[in-house]
Amino acid sequence: MSKNPLFVVTNNGKDVEAAEGFFDAIIKKMGLSPVLEFLQMIFDILMEQVGGLVALELFRGILDEVVDTLEKSLKLIDPVLAFSIFKR
């Protein structure tokens, strides 16, 4: 038995895209793909600069701040979804 496919409708119903999962659907529905690509590029550049444990800890601190900010934003937008994702 196959699962029901998940689709995202954008552009006032003119565009329909298949989504691979719940998060993919949210990203496509809100148009966050360019933002995520930009963040990925920044993280890749930062990881290239990591040369030791101190730099790795600094990078981890930056990532923790980004995740905390995203978590707070999601809690403001949809508290139930935030609780189901972060469990706190």
Per-residue model confidence (pLDDT) at position 83: 67
- Rounded Cα distance between 6 and 22, Å, is 8
The answer to whether the beta carbons of residues 19 and 10 sit under 8 Å apart is no
Per-residue model confidence (pLDDT) at position 31: 82
pLDDT < 50 stretches in the chain: 1
Runs of H (alpha helix) within 1-88: 22-30, 33-49, 53-77, 79-86
| Domain segments of the chain as ranges | 1-31, 34-88
- Rounded Cα distance between 18 and 9, Å, is 9
